[in-house]
Structure 1
């Protein structure tokens, strides 16, 4: 009986590693006693999945950003990179970890700055990073639609190379629009959640989301796009900050809003973010609604979702990989000496299925 395609591809990856990480396709076919045309087809599938790299009749294993940076110590040693984030203790911790591991592998020094949401001190923090000797910058500033362009005009006059991390200019010609960007494709992440709900038979899906961050805006836009792509009608968004706005969520008010939506026929809720979603099951239970029996929940971010009771199905942006890829791109700008075009790099989230959706 012939082996499956999956098993063949596993053997191919193993053989490439045993042969030194790079091998001719013809040698690979001979070693495995598999027809060359079959090997080429399997290698093409592995390349599409990002597991190998093809080049002029050769194939090699794809390496992580940290692995690729590990060989650049001689070039990166002594470089100082500044990283600006809006917070620590949640989403951006994994982004920081990715940047930090990549910087360590490359022999570079990392300096951290924190500019909280709404504080308006992005520029002050960046100036401090520059004064500390930063020769390149990784920035997650407070870019939101409706922002006065004058407040972020400084992005277009930075004296060193910079990469926007989990951010993008709100308009094609706005501040920072010519900078490199590396981030998660949050609209794709939302679509994955909605498609999972649809597969479980849910047509009326409520979005509960914040309204004070770039990710929140992308989640909201992705909800409208995703519902229409799935031929489902978008419902009014429940703002987790409550009617008064501010920066603190209103979990009790959110639970009541979800109960009202359930009374109108909805049975599925996507919640941005984990911190708000993880508080909902006991609050909904107090209102006579069980998760997942009466309400299916998916959280967005997957920082703490697995620790909920019940464990929450969650969209997981590739936070650590974003940090690694952003550092790799910045380092390329700093060390290659090439006149590179601006990059727009989007990494796809994954959906981690747990208990909170039923099914």
Structure 2
């Protein structure tokens, strides 16, 4: 009984550690990572919520918000700011960023006004103008589309807005011709990709491949990490495929089959795939063809939204989405309190690598042979 109690305490400590790091946790992902049932995680969350250590939300938990705390702990002298936030999507990737931002906003006693946009500069402008012209926001957290020939004009326009802005999961050039040097906070995706390459190298793989989504702003950072890691480990970096192979993409099976045939001819024994839906499509195709994962082909996904749901569960690089949202709000609050005397800041936050069955051989199976 004592051992069980000790394990429960350790599990709850891990839960709180992840919550402090990311600002939010999901029941399903945490249960898979800790090797326990979802019911066990829900009970842990309920117990910690009763103690005032976290706030229960649908499917998970966040850091406690100000309204959950005893009145005596409230600080009425805290400035009441309203921060606007415009993100390109309200589903894949962005919900955890938003959760982290909301948790930080609640902790600092500020309001957060959320607007969903799309990967389109014209729509970004419309949503940003709605917030600015309302006269209710004192700062903006933005994730605009920074692709295409009009990107300099877009950055210049944002830099001249009447309220301070911080980019979220976006990065401006080192120098921009704007009245203020724009701030940003984002995941260090290049280092995240390096983590994946180094992990696969450490378990014996010497011929690796990279599959990137065509339309993702993350891809540019991933290729930077890929080239850097391959150079440092003396690996060939020429196998890079830019294709969307998620199951909803027409003709994805033929595309996946073609990629794997290229892998066979090139001696590739491990693939890093962005993002989870694409990695799951590759895993399903391999299984249907009778290939063993990771023995015949190891897989690492980049994103870790649903990678744990695959069979076998897919090793994944997990960007610090909740912490990015949290940090963005904290930077904005500091900017609003301190004003122009505060130097501009730009923050890179490291992802983490979650190792699962898709990259590490099951007990009792022979190790993956190195390709030379």
Which residue, out of 158, 164, 167, partners 1:164? 167
Distance 1:96 1:111 in 2: 11
Partner of 1:139: 142
User: For structure 2, which runs of at least 5 residues remain unmatched after alignment?
Assistant: 1-61, 362-372
| Cα distance in structure 1, aligned partners of 2:279 and 2:199 | 17
Which of residues 265, 272, 275 in structure 1 aligns to 2:274?
272
Q: Which residue of 2 aligns with 1:206?
A: 209
TM-score normalised by structure 1 residue count: 0.74
Distance 1:296-1:280 versus aligned 2 partners, 3 A rule: same
For the Cα contact (< 8 Å) 1:95–1:321, is it kept in 2? yes
Distance in 1 separating the partners of 2:79 and 2:151: 39
Contact 1:86–1:117 under 8 Å retained in 2: yes
Q: Name segments (4+ residues, structure 1) moved above 6 Å.
A: 65-72, 174-177
Output one character per residue of 1:72-110: Cα deviation in whole Å (capped at 9) or x when no partner. 853555321111111121211100000011111222111
SS across alignment from 1:116 = coil
Structure 2 SS opposite 1:74: coil
Superposition pairs of residues 141-156 of structure 1, within 5 angstroms? 141-144=144-147, 147-156=150-159
Question: Which residue number corresponds to residue 263 of structure 2?
Answer: 261
> How does 1:67-86 map onto structure 2 within 5 Å?
73-74=75-76, 76=78, 78-86=80-88
Match of 1:105 in 2: 107
1:313-328 aligned at under 5 Å gives the runs 313-328=315-330
Distance in 2 separating the partners of 1:255 and 1:330: 47
Q: TM-score, normalising length from structure 2?
A: 0.72
When residues 202 and 191 of structure 1 are mapped into structure 2, their CA distance, relative to the original with a 3 A threshold, is: same
> Residues 228 and 86 (structure 1 numbering): CA distance in 2 closer, same or farther, change over 3 Å?
same
1:225 maps to: 228
CA distance in 1, matches of 2:249, 2:180: 30
Report the secondary structure of 1:254's partner residue: helix
Superposed CA deviations along residues 129-160 of structure 1, whole A, max 9, x for unmatched, are 22342211111111237554224321220111
Partner of 2:218, secondary structure, is: helix
For 2:338, the equivalent position in structure 1 comes to 336
Match of 1:349 among 348, 351, 354: 351
Match for residue 182 of structure 2 among 179, 183, 200: 179
Asked if 1:92 is matched to 2:114, the reply is: no
> Which of 195-204 and 118-127 deviates more?
118-127
Counterparts of 2:215 and 2:180, CA distance in 1: 21
Q: Deviations over 1:251-290 (max 9, x none)?
A: 3213431332133200100011112112221212333433
Q: Which residue matches 1:4?
A: none
1:278 match: secondary structure: helix
Gaps of 5+ in 1: 1-64
Do the aligned residues in 1 keep the contact of 2:208 with 2:239 (CA within 8 Å)?
no
Once the two structures are overlaid, the 10-residue window that deviates more, 290-299 or 278-287, is 278-287
The alignment partner of 2:341 has SS state of coil
Instruction: After superposing the two structures, state which structure 1 stretch, 311-320 or 281-290, moved more.
Output: 281-290
Query: Which residue of structure 2 lines up, in the alignment, with residue 291 of structure 1?
Result: 293
Which one has the largest radius of gyration? 1
Contact 2:159 2:165 in 1 (8 A): no
When the two chains are superposed, the root-mean-square deviation of aligned CA atoms in Å is: 2.8
Structure-2 separation of matches of 1:285 and 1:159: 55
Matched, 1:234 2:257: no
Deviations 1:151-205 (A, max 9, x none): 4321220111111111101463377982111111111100010000100111111
Partner of 2:12: none
